């Protein structure tokens, strides 16, 4: 069986102002880098309202739809913009993750990567922020729990920024383990170890600026992997941000492309042990175009090795 790749041309229709790091070229570079790989290519559907409503209130969804401009840009917060194609892009992004969960849980594919934008892990219950509109990873987790009836799902977020949105959306969901590592201090400022969720199902792993792959590996081996193995999730969702890369302009961690391959391989190993290898990975950040393309390629290659 092959790793699935879910994407949609609508995700290129979300345009940001000149100079904005979260830009169309990110996804273009990734799709180009993945072109030669032997993947099960799927078109991402629009997310259903039922799935959005599991994590965002109706008012919020209506406000986001209403904020989309007919031309030009709307600024939602300090660094989050919408263009005429943004709603469709966000619906495809969330729809990709939900569809990937369906494909993996039905056994049609062993694992999947969603090449989508805008990203999702900063979107809180009723607040768009940090380039994100909908909480893609969290709504994928809720879909797996509520629609498919799973008892336990884990979200692992290795983006360099704190997955504050995922943490917020799953804060009081005892069936979801949220593990998020982040450079600290760094925007958005949250993600301290004492933020542990209503049921102690949130694990925050701060990493110091200028630290690299060795520190990351030690932290994951000491904290994240034992928690994952003990929780025994039936599905692992990865918030795959590649902005901890040493070449990334938005942060100061020094992970190499090999580190992204390593963490992916380790997560695949754990998924093999606890949940028949079931992984859904979704794109979050990563802002140096070449590093992003290379690290994403390495990440997807590890998913493919595990799928064999
Ligand atoms: Zn990020």
pLDDT, position 42: 98
Q: What is the mean pLDDT of residues 224-236?
A: 98
pLDDT, position 308: 78
Confidence of residue 63 (pLDDT cuts 50, 70, 90): very high
- Greatest pairwise CA separation for the chain in angstroms: 50
Residue 101 clears pLDDT 90, i.e. is over it: yes
Confidence of residue 143 (pLDDT cuts 50, 70, 90): very high
Residue 89 clears pLDDT 90, i.e. is over it: yes
Mean residue pLDDT across the chain: 98
User: 308 C-alpha vs ligand 1 centroid, how far in Å?
Assistant: 30
User: 284 C-alpha vs ligand 1 centroid, how far in Å?
Assistant: 6
pLDDT, position 86: 98
The H-assigned helical ranges of 250-288 are 257-275
User: 106 C-alpha vs ligand 1 centroid, how far in Å?
Assistant: 31
Quick: pLDDT tens for 246-274: 999 999 999 999 999 999 999 999 999 99
Q: What is the mean pLDDT of residues 219-232?
A: 98
Residue 150 clears pLDDT 90, i.e. is over it: yes
Q: What is the mean pLDDT of residues 112-136?
A: 98
How far apart CA 67 and CA 174 sit, in angstroms, is 33
How far apart CA 129 and CA 147 sit, in angstroms, is 27
Residue 36 clears pLDDT 90, i.e. is over it: yes
Confidence of residue 118 (pLDDT cuts 50, 70, 90): very high
User: 1 C-alpha vs ligand 1 centroid, how far in Å?
Assistant: 31
The H-assigned helical ranges of 45-163 are 49-53, 58-67, 86-105, 136-142
User: 128 C-alpha vs ligand 1 centroid, how far in Å?
Assistant: 14
Q: What is the mean pLDDT of residues 112-126?
A: 98
Residue 92 clears pLDDT 90, i.e. is over it: yes
Confidence of residue 90 (pLDDT cuts 50, 70, 90): very high
User: 181 C-alpha vs ligand 1 centroid, how far in Å?
Assistant: 11
| Nearest CA-CA partner of 254 in 218, 208, 220, 223 | 208
Residue 279 clears pLDDT 90, i.e. is over it: yes
Residue 266 in contact with residue 4, Cβ under 8 Å?
no
Would you please indicate which residues are annotated as catalytic (active-site) residues?
Answer: 122
Residue 240: C-alpha distances to residues 23, 83, 185 (Å): 17, 24, 20
């Amino acid at each position: 069986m092959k790793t699935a790749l879910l994407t949609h041309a609508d995700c290129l229709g979300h345009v940001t102002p000149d100079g904005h790091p979260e830009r169309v070229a990110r996804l273009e570079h990734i799709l180009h880098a993945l072109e030669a790989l032997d993947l099960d290519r799927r078109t991402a559907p629009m997310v259903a309202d039922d799935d959005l409503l599991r994590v965002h209130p109706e008012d919020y969804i209506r406000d986001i739809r209403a904020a989309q401009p007919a031309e030009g840009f709307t600024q939602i917060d300090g660094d989050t913009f919408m263009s005429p194609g943004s709603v469709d892009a966000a619906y495809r992004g969330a729809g990709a993750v939900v569809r990937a969960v369906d494909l993996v849980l039905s056994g049609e594919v062993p694992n999947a990567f969603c090449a989508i934008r805008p990203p999702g892990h900063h979107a809180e219950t009723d607040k768009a922020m940090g380039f994100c509109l909908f909480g893609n990873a969290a709504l994928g987790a809720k879909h797996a729990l509520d629609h498919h009836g799973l008892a336990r799902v884990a979200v692992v977020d290795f983006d360099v920024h704190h997955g504050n949105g995922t943490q917020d959306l799953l804060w009081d969901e005892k069936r979801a383990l949220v593990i998020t590592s982040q450079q600290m201090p760094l925007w958005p400022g949250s993600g301290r170890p004492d933020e542990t969720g209503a049921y102690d199902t949130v694990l925050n792993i701060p990493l110091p600026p200028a630290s690299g792959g060795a520190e990351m590996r030690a932290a994951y081996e000491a904290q994240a992997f034992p928690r994952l193995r003990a929780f025994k999730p039936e599905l692992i969702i990865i918030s795959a941000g590649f902005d901890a890369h040493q070449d990334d302009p938005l942060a100061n961690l020094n992970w190499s492309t090999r580190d992204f391959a390593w963490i992916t391989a380790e997560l695949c190993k754990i998924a093999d042990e606890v949940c028949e290898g079931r992984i859904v990975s979704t794109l979050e950040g990563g802002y140096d175009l070449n590093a992003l393309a290379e690290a994403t390629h390495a990440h997807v290659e590890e998913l493919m090795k595990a799928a064999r």
